[in-house]
Structure 1
Amino acid sequence: MSYKERVIKGVTWNFLLLILSAPIGYLVRMLYANEIPKLEVGLFYAVLDFCCMMAIFKDLGLSSALVKFIPKFLHEKRKDLVKSAIISVGVLQSSVSLIITILIILLSPLIAEYYINNQGQFTGHLDLVINVLIILSVGFWFQSIMDVISSSIQGFQNQKYRGTISFVRISLILILSAIFIYFFGFHNVFVPTYAYTLTPVLMILIYAYIFFKKIFPEFFEVKFLLSKKLIKDLFSYGIYIMIGSAGSLVLGYIDGICLTYFIGLNAVADYRNVAVPTVSVLSYFASSVTTVLFPLSSELWVKGYKKALGYGVEKICLYSFILVLPMAILMTYFPKVIINLFFNPQYLSAADAIRILSLGMIFMTLNNIGFTVLNGIGKPHLSTKILYVGAIFNLIFNILLIPKFGIVGASLTTVFGYLLMWILQVKYLNKFLNYSFLIKKWILVTLIGIFSLIPLIIITKIINNIILQLILGGIVYFGIYLIGIFGLRIIDVKEIYDMLNKIRGI
């Protein structure tokens, strides 16, 4: 199978599963918004953000090291090193994660009083906050084990099973949440707390079986080598990823952390349960691309196919932009419609954040692709450098803007942080891969996306029914957008036809 065919089939499979995951993930948020008090939804996400920030220290960058080194060892036909790498990473990550979990449990009274309840919204009910902290920290430990399994599957470049992980995860969260609400009658913060804690346990059972039976059945037969050199190599690569992951997690969760501390848990509910999940749908294509691109870019770089990799990155970035831009524009135009349809009026305060963040997702998509390529070609230190520039920018401006502007300040900071990182990425990609930023095509796509909005505005002025506005307006908008894209030959029709032929073989 050619590299091009592997990319097309892998990306398509992952993208289809992520598309299926999107409505399920949205159902989870809708369920929480409509069945659990808003303040308790904010409490859950505040604690979840805290636990995710602690993930900076549990991973040690070794999960990404597995994805990097497994293809290399398989190419060398050294399955003993593959097994040794998986076991070494599993023991190290689960041990560090256990230590962190114990520390969170021991310090939970202080965390609850001086951080989660900083705005006094759970004064007199700190036991509730402490219990949520303890339960989620246990789930945090199980997730560290699942991360090793997931990275191992990705390292084998088995897209068939790797692509199902996000879908199965969000499906289990929905099923468990529905059981707790409709069968046990829970309508409080423990619904998401229990669901998010039990899900990694179930996933370990499912994917450990798949990995040992279907992907690496020789696991228990090949020898285990306790190699200092192997561990050193894993750490040497992983340390940059860990430091980079710290920046990535700061970017992902510092908004919620600062909102919790400066504004309160209702703002966290608006931002984390409505605004961020709504715009995150736009990142699904990039997620499907990066899952395939990481191990593949590593292989192409090792074999010296730099020109082919550079050309591929140019096309992937352009096509990603073409796909994400119209959805971002529509989301910017219809935030209140989305909230009224899927949530309830008490979350309308999240509308401005959706408008801002939806445009930021364009740069996030491009950032995900850029970081994946830099890590894949063995330049994780550059990813780390860029991430920390973005993370420091994000931290400083969150502290400056959130106390005054709330979730709008958090959203603006996130968007400009993504933009800054993308500019730096283009610089490095051009240096190592002769990556060309196809500026004329990007400008044309942007203009088409903006001008396609004109008939949509007219339609929304004529039609009063919100659902009809959304359906008819969306059809007209995408129709005009596609005519412009193909009419100006921004996309190579022959290449699209070739992709479709490859997809049929999936």
Structure 2
Amino acid sequence: YNIALITSGLLMVFLSSFRYIFSPVMSELYGKNNINGFRTVYRSMCKWLFMIVFPVLLLMIFFPDNVLGILFGKEAVKASAPFIILSLGFFLFSVFGLSNTVVFVVGKTKTLMLITSVCSVTNLVLNILLIPLIGINGAAMATSISFTLISIMGVAFCYRYTGLYPVQRVYLKPTISGLASLAVFYGLIKTVIANTSWYVLIPSLPLFILLYGFLILAMKGLDKNDLMILRTLERKTGMRSEFLRRIIRRFL
């Protein structure tokens, strides 16, 4: 279970990174009452998180044995079921978790305490009910449901306080791009090559990533606001990505 928890929890690394980088930006915009800028940053961040995390989720769901086997060995494959269950909950939290950040930025700390308390109690109760029935899968379901509840409550309170919500039509293009890329990758690995060993999967991953990125660009999945997000990332991290910016501009 710990293996499944740790590995699926990697999905939340992206949310933590974005929070660290953009929370000060959002606080500054809110402090200046720049609501349009605040809204733009929030929605763009949610879109970027979805674009980054969704393909990772697809790999975790469709290749769980391979992911766990490569990282921890053959014995870890036994944790595939809880791994998938946890991945789904952590995915939702990673995509919608910025709503909780917005609640914090607007100063509603008591609301965050309420959300945390409700979800902690929910997790405890579900563990007591589910673990005796279905073992580690029950523990995974309890954790996944709790994180999903955190996400739902965060979105609800974020909308209540600011009128903002993370669900957008722009998610459709990354979704189509991800599923199409997965279909090609899955078909290649499972049918054409018919080998899912680590020495086949790892070298093949760049194909999946490049195809996914190309489809997003080809479908006009990025806009000028994404360049703003990229510039902010560069400023905060000290890393330059002129090549990536040129590519994005070409497909706008």
Asked if the contact 1:485–1:491 (Cα under 8 Å) also holds between the matched residues in 2, the reply is yes
Asked if the contact 1:307–1:434 (Cα under 8 Å) also holds between the matched residues in 2, the reply is no
User: What SS does the corresponding residue of 1:304 show, helix, strand or coil?
Assistant: coil
Match 2:42 to one of 308, 313, 318: 313
Query: Residue 316 of structure 1: CA displacement?
Result: 0.7
| 2:230 aligned residue | 499
Counterpart residue identity of residue 68, structure 2: I
| 2:8 aligned residue | 279
Structure 2's unaligned 5+ residue stretches are 239-252
> C-alpha root-mean-square deviation of aligned residues, in Å?
2.6
Distance 1:307 1:428 in 2: 19
Asked if the contact 2:43–2:166 (Cα under 8 Å) also holds between the matched residues in 1, the reply is yes
Counterpart residue identity of residue 376, structure 1: V
- The percent identity for this pair of structures is 26
| 1:409 aligned residue | 138
Counterpart residue identity of residue 351, structure 1: S
Are 1:353 and 2:54 matched, yes or no? no
User: What SS does the corresponding residue of 2:76 show, helix, strand or coil?
Assistant: helix
| 1:297 aligned residue | 26
- CA deviations 1:248-270 (Å, max 9, x no partner) are xxxxxxxxxxxxxxxxxxxxxxx
Are 1:439 and 2:165 matched, yes or no? no
Q: From the CA coordinates, give the structure whose radius of gyration is larger.
A: 1
| 2:250 aligned residue | none
Distance 1:423 1:487 in 2: 32
Asked if the contact 2:49–2:94 (Cα under 8 Å) also holds between the matched residues in 1, the reply is yes
Query: Residue 375 of structure 1: CA displacement?
Result: 1.4
Residue pairs, 1:343-492, within 5 angstroms: 343-461=72-190, 462-463=192-193, 464=195, 466-492=197-223
Counterpart residue identity of residue 227, structure 2: I
Counterpart residue identity of residue 322, structure 1: M
Query: Residue 493 of structure 1: CA displacement?
Result: 6.0
Counterpart residue identity of residue 176, structure 2: L
Query: Residue 287 of structure 1: CA displacement?
Result: 0.9
Query: Residue 275 of structure 1: CA displacement?
Result: 1.1
Residue pairs, 1:158-173, within 5 angstroms: none
Residue pairs, 1:29-428, within 5 angstroms: 271-272=1-2, 274-428=3-157
- Cα 1:348–1:383 change in 2 (3 A) is same
Distance 2:227 2:24 in 1: 24
Counterpart residue identity of residue 162, structure 2: L
Asked if the contact 1:311–1:435 (Cα under 8 Å) also holds between the matched residues in 2, the reply is no
Asked if the contact 2:100–2:158 (Cα under 8 Å) also holds between the matched residues in 1, the reply is no
Distance 1:288 1:498 in 2: 13
Asked if the contact 2:45–2:229 (Cα under 8 Å) also holds between the matched residues in 1, the reply is no
- CA deviations 1:291-329 (Å, max 9, x no partner) are 234444334333322332222111111111110110111
Instruction: Give the TM-score taking structure 2 as reference length.
Output: 0.80
Counterpart residue identity of residue 230, structure 2: M
- CA deviations 1:421-459 (Å, max 9, x no partner) are 322222222233331444322233333322322112212
| 2:243 aligned residue | none
- Cα 1:283–1:466 change in 2 (3 A) is same
Asked if the contact 1:337–1:466 (Cα under 8 Å) also holds between the matched residues in 2, the reply is yes
- CA deviations 1:103-130 (Å, max 9, x no partner) are xxxxxxxxxxxxxxxxxxxxxxxxxxxx
- Cα 1:494–1:440 change in 2 (3 A) is closer
User: What SS does the corresponding residue of 2:9 show, helix, strand or coil?
Assistant: helix
- Cα 1:278–1:465 change in 2 (3 A) is same
- Cα 1:444–1:387 change in 2 (3 A) is farther
Query: Residue 502 of structure 1: CA displacement?
Result: 6.6
Distance 2:47 2:86 in 1: 20
Distance 2:136 2:188 in 1: 30
Asked if the contact 2:97–2:154 (Cα under 8 Å) also holds between the matched residues in 1, the reply is no
Counterpart residue identity of residue 314, structure 1: R
* Moved beyond 3 Å, runs of 4+: 292-300, 493-498
- Cα 1:469–1:409 change in 2 (3 A) is farther
- Cα 1:474–1:359 change in 2 (3 A) is farther
Structure 1's unaligned 5+ residue stretches are 1-270
- CA deviations 1:445-504 (Å, max 9, x no partner) are 333322322112212223225124312442232233222222222222673387259727
